[in-house]
A and B are shown apart, each in its own frame.
Chain A
Amino acid sequence: MTLFKTMLSKLGRKTIDSLWTLGVASTFIFRVIARSSIVIRRPNLLVAEMHFAGVLSLVIIIVSGLFVGLVLGLQGYETLKRYGSTGAVGTLVALSLVRELGPVVSALLFASRAGSAITAEIGIMKTTEQLSAMEMMAVDPHARVIAPMFWGGVLSMPLLAAIFSAMGIIGGYLITVVVIGVDSGAFWSQMQASVDFHHDILNGVIKSVVFGTAVSAISVYEGYASVPTAEGVSKAVTRTVVTSALAVLALDFVLTAFMFTGAH
């Protein structure tokens, strides 16, 4: 009976704790967004963070996009060959990339490449008391450090997802048309006949904006809330990657249910 009681109270404490964390995180993100005017007043801060989050992620995004496209093309071709409709491989590659894989995989890569780096940077600034030092000099770290990082991530993510999708389509083109020998005209024309600008491409961009916001918010919060020790920062980085991945996949399900089901 007492065991049951302690288990129940532990569960309750966990629930209250996680709700508490959610509240603190939301307040923190609102505070960051409220102090974001610095991004417009000093655009060089934003440019530096876009370099950090976007440009430095370019290589991994381009290479992974290309390989994902190659694999999709190869697998799609092998499956469609059985039905004698290999021309539809372009449609398969483009739709799966633009709707799902582009935004989701680039968000996962972004979380592990840029999100973890953002958390580590903020965490180490906290450990070495740079954030406190800023406050002592009447510089608000929310505005000076965190807001540019947050917006740099939010703005970089849709561009990275678009580059990922485009590279994937090029990869699919290379493997199916150039290597295997699917007709180039059928590849592009079937793709163009089924990819809708509003329904597919725009919804993909909306997805990547949502994922970028979620991953950036999680990264800056985990860094800011980390325990200021070496171990605390390492745990915070792990939490960033795990929470971001779960958030992206859960959000993707919700967004897909809204966007791509129903009357069509």
Chain B
Amino acid sequence: MERSVIDLWVGIFVALGIAALLFLALKAGNVDSIIKSEGYLVSAEFDNIGGLKAKAPVKSAGVIVGRVDNVSFSNQSLRAVVKLNLDKQFQFPKDSSASILTSGLLGDQFVGIDPGGALENLQDGDRVRITQSAIVLEKVIGQFLYGKMSEKNGD
């Protein structure tokens, strides 16, 4: 087969292109998002989820153990239902509690799981019973101001 300089240049071009794609995938993106590990779905009901969105991280002791699968509203309980997709390699006791936390003061919201003490573990389709809603900053500030005002009136 004949080889010309053009073939070499096109080879260099294709190699550069693939290298750039690999660079984007491995260095700029996170490798974890390519390899999707098996997970199990657990639901949790909250009074208020604040600004929690699908794909937000689920953390336990600061380690990412899963992602929020979806967020919906239940007509029966009139509360927000959050489906959590937890990684199979992480198991939590049945009485673990879920709370919605914020990273930093203005950061994104995520779900934190505090492990309980039950012997049985959470299974696919289970529901987390103990939940704590997101702290809505406006409410906290409102309560604080209200408290201050009533303090003053009391004096």
- Among A192, A196, A197, chain B packs the most CB atoms within 10 A around the CB of A197
Chain A nearest Cβ from B49, distance in angstroms: 14
Within 8 A of B (CB), among A42-85: 44, 47-48, 50-51, 54-55, 58
Within 8 Å of chain B (Cβ to Cβ): is A220? no
Give B16-27 as 1s and 0s: 1 = Cβ < 8 Å from A's Cβ atoms. 111111011101
Partner of B33, one of A58, A156, A198: A198
Number of interface residues, chain A, beta carbon within 8 A: 33
Q: Is B28 an interface residue (CB 8 A)?
A: yes
Chain A residues whose C-beta falls within 8 Å of the C-beta of B17 in the assembled complex? 158-160, 162-163
Q: Which residue of A lies closest to B2 (CB)?
A: A44
| Contact status of A54 and B10, CB under 8 A, knowing A162-B17, A162-B21, A166-B24 | yes
Taking CB atoms, residues of chain A closer than 8 Å to B90 are: none
- Could you tell me the dominant secondary structure of chain B's interface residues? helix
With beta carbons under 8 angstroms apart, the residue of B9, B16, B30, B34 that contacts A163 is B16
Instruction: Name B residues whose Cβ lies closer than 8 Å to a Cβ of A.
Output: 6-7, 9-10, 12-14, 16-21, 23-25, 27-30, 33-34, 53-55, 70
4 A-B pairs closest in CB distance:
A159-B17, A166-B20, A162-B20, A195-B29
| 15 CB-based A-B contacts, threshold 8 Å | A51-B10, A55-B9, A55-B10, A94-B28, A158-B17, A159-B14, A162-B17, A162-B21, A163-B17, A163-B20, A169-B23, A191-B28, A192-B30, A195-B28, A197-B25
